[in-house]
Structure 1
């Protein structure tokens, strides 16, 4: 018994040590980003490094808040990310419901297309998307960014929501129809309210993709008034000097929406991801 208890204690200790080391490895860059955002630019790489400087201040944040161009980066990111999330959820819910509940010609082919789009590396589509947006006169527009992002967020939304609707009994739809509700009404009045965990998980994932995306935002926009936060951070890298403290401050501000979403909707996110991956 003592040998078994020792092995169990060693196992638990090893797990905790691994978790602590992993947490430090993941958390130290975040801590460095946070403390650097309060330091003067000249003191960020001072040796020996110090967490708190005597002349720490909110100067980097004030510089961002007082610069209309930097504020525009955040406005663009919120506008694009929220629009992509809303449109992806609406279309994904209806498509997922159709794939889950109905049989129609071409269903298998459409399923293959949806999965195939999800499997294609986005970088391989960069040049085709650039040419397409220029041809459609959507280059350097919100519409171009939104439609591009939806190409990558919709397949995931459809796959996850189809799996989630598959876990819900069809008797719910039938009972709603017996009460006189249409198919469309059964979806929005009955299934959607009880599918909140799945919908929230898809919404958070979609918002994260649209908020953090860099490559297409850089390629499909030209002017600073159309740039998003990831591109705005890069623009702080000058030819001869870097505004490190402002870069760190923008990174902190850019991380807040995703962190807040995950904190408040964590239980929905985990529950939705688990339920959507199981098919009854």
Structure 2
């Protein structure tokens, strides 16, 4: 009996087990350092949004303020121009997300379930668009938007953003539809229904995790986009949140506390989406990246 009790102890004290324990400890420490590195700036941003501009630059710096104040938030929410930045971002981001999902679902279903002439070429074009740096397309798209009379309008921003969100959405949704058995479509056709019914009544409900993950990613791209929002809009009533934050940088002074407050308010929609749909988001990304 004593031999049996001593044996597990000997195993636990073996060099291999000790090495594994040290590796686990090292992994935990690395994760803690990574979390601190990623979360530190966010905590500082949150803390600075409750300070005055003078207190932000105090030395030594303090994470917790003694003069807690919501003045920066009240200044933003009571200013119609700044509130307009958020309204514009919501309108553009929601429209881009809904239109991208609708078109991507139709296109992905076609790529996944049908064979047609030019399918391979279209796939290559879609992937190629993803490989092009957006900044190289800035001047051509500016000319197109101005030429079609869409400069400084919602449609101009929405259509431009969809050029960058659709390829990713189609690629991910096609991969997700490929994981769904074709027998589902055949069962619907046996009952006398067509492809449209099979898509919206059967496949789309099953593909909810993939659709949610693509939708969240699309919303994030549209919400955080800066370069095209700056170039394709002119007046303050069409600016989005990223541009609004930049406009708080005055010629002679920066409203740092308001910049931090607007950054926090601008982060809330994306954070809430991820928290509420985290299970779908992670599951959709994994499923969409595997082809059966």
| TM-score bracket relative to the smaller structure | over 0.9
Q: Is it true that 1:137 corresponds to 2:149 in the alignment?
A: yes
Tell me, in whole angstroms, the C-alpha distance in 2 between the residues paired with 1:50 and 1:210. 34
Q: Which residue of 2 aligns with 1:99?
A: 111
Runs of 4 or more above 4 Å deviation: none
Q: By how many angstroms is 1:53 displaced?
A: 2.2
Tell me, in whole angstroms, the C-alpha distance in 2 between the residues paired with 1:52 and 1:202. 38
Q: TM-score, normalised by structure 2?
A: 0.95
Tell me, in whole angstroms, the C-alpha distance in 1 between the residues paired with 2:18 and 2:57. 45
Q: Which residue of 2 aligns with 1:67?
A: 79
Q: TM-score, normalised by structure 1?
A: 0.99
Tell me, in whole angstroms, the C-alpha distance in 2 between the residues paired with 1:269 and 1:52. 34
Q: Which residue of 1 aligns with 2:285?
A: 273
Q: Which residue of 1 aligns with 2:252?
A: 240
Q: Which residue of 2 aligns with 1:212?
A: 224
Q: Is it true that 1:185 corresponds to 2:197 in the alignment?
A: yes
State how 1:77-156 maps to structure 2 within 5 Å: 77-156=89-168
Tell me, in whole angstroms, the C-alpha distance in 2 between the residues paired with 1:122 and 1:128. 11
Q: How many residues align?
A: 280
Q: By how many angstroms is 1:45 displaced?
A: 1.1
Unpaired segments of 5 or more residues in structure 1? none
Larger radius of gyration: 2
Q: Which residue of 1 aligns with 2:171?
A: 159
Contact kept, 8 Å, 2:126 with 2:167, in 1: the verdict is yes
Q: Deviations over 1:108-141 (max 9, x none)?
A: 1111111111111101100101111111111111
Tell me, in whole angstroms, the C-alpha distance in 1 between the residues paired with 2:87 and 2:188. 41
Q: Which residue of 2 aligns with 1:258?
A: 270
Tell me, in whole angstroms, the C-alpha distance in 1 between the residues paired with 2:190 and 2:57. 69
1:105 aligned counterpart, secondary structure: coil
Contact kept, 8 Å, 2:47 with 2:65, in 1: the verdict is no
Contact kept, 8 Å, 2:175 with 2:288, in 1: the verdict is yes
Root-mean-square deviation (Å): 0.7
Tell me, in whole angstroms, the C-alpha distance in 2 between the residues paired with 1:55 and 1:262. 32
